[in-house]
Structure 1
Amino acid sequence: MNLIEQRIWDYLDGTDTPQQRELTEQLIKADPFYRQIYEECKSFNSLVYAADQDEPSMGFTRNVMERIDMEPVPASFKSLIDKRIVFGIIAFFLFTITALLGVLFYQIDWSQATGFKVPELMMPTFDSSKYLSSTYINIFLFIDIIIGLYLFDGFLRKRLKSK
């Protein structure tokens, strides 16, 4: 679509400014090319508005819903999955877990004394002042507050929508 047609369509639709409207009116009156395009656009516009809008019949929705009800219901997933495969997978995992527990209990030395001594482990010292300055803590708390407010807003919106 060129500039002339766009200007005339804006004129016909009434979406142009008053200054553009005056200029377009003057061009339509003065220029035969503008007048010809104006007449074509105006006749097309009147044809479009004169065309009847097709509307479905009153029982259209009812007929469509009845046809949908007549369609066969698809089979559920329970009937699509073979139960033997499911039981095979369950048996495999139960056998594997039982075998691992059997090997574990077989390798335990049951003859040890009843006392149990925990080995001593020394944890390395951790200087948290290098990593946790007040700036980092403030940033972390700020982000937590924003996330909390977002979740609280979602909760309130759900609650409001359910009422």
Structure 2
Amino acid sequence: MNTIEQQLWDYIDGNLDDSSKKAIEEKIESNAEIKSQYEDLLKLNLVFDGMDLDEPSMSFNRNVMESIALVPAPVAMKTKVDKKIIYSIGGFFVVSLLAILSYVFYNANLEMPQFDLKVNFDFNLEKYITPTAIYVFLFADLVIGLIFLDQFLRKKVAQK
């Protein structure tokens, strides 16, 4: 569609401002080709106005919904991530941590004015191994064991 045709359609529809409207009216009056095109578009617009719009049948909505229900639901797409990307991200973090650690060691003051090491190897196990500590340890083992059992049984069911 050329620009003059678009301008004529906008003029017919009444979508133009006053200055554009006057400019199109002048073009229509001065140019016979544009005037004939304008008259053709007016006739076409009258034909469009006289047409009745077709309405869908009463069961159209139901038919569409039934046809949609027959289509299988889309499955989530599983994509494979390239290992090079994972290694490069991991390498970046390792290099960053090494840079921070080397900066800390470079700026650290490692002078030890007095190094007096007194180590007592006399451990009192009764102080650390209490009934509460044993119960916490056994509870954590039980939870880990149940998680392992759940995963094991799920794999068996999935294999069948």
**TM-score normalised by length of structure 2:** 0.38
Bigger RCO of structures 1 and 2 (CA < 8 A, at least 6 apart): 1
